[in-house]
Amino acid sequence: MDSMRTYTLGEFSRLTGKATSTLQRWDRTGVLTAHRTVTNRRYYTYDQYLSVMGLPPQLETEQDKRIVIYARVSSRNQRDDLANQERFLRQWANARGLIVDEVLTDIGSGMNFKRKNFNRIMYADDISRVIIAHKDRLTRFGY
């Protein structure tokens, strides 16, 4: 499903066939309010595209969301453990009939949040389930 897709002002203009000045005016007058990035740039979502094109919104169901395996070790010396975690979690998911869409791994401390794939999971709206070996693989405190 493409509901998480975003478009810049120019991309959205080309997709919808509307001039960028029209989209800017719509944003100012509240006809179609654009989202803003941290740097105050306009962007639009797929749902807004459907709205402008007069198409019905696509409802996201649980089946449209992904199942993700997340494995983490603290240091590069534990790479073998990382592979073992991944293998074990795949077997566990297969035994329960779960279809895993993606495997994400990190090498880094569980004491901070400076882990690329951990942050991808935390900020993703399209994940229904995260499979981990133990809750301290996600973070050491505050799970």
For the annotated catalytic residues, the residue numbers are: 74
Tell me which DSSP letter residue 55 carries. Answer: P
Distance CA(121)–CA(98), nearest Å, equals: 18
Tell me which residue of 36, 20, 101 sits closest to 63, measured CA to CA.
101
- Give burial (CB, 10 Å; 0-12/13-18/19+) of 72: buried
What token pair was written down for 106?
A: 């990190």
DSSP structure string for 97-114: T----EEEEEES-TTSS-
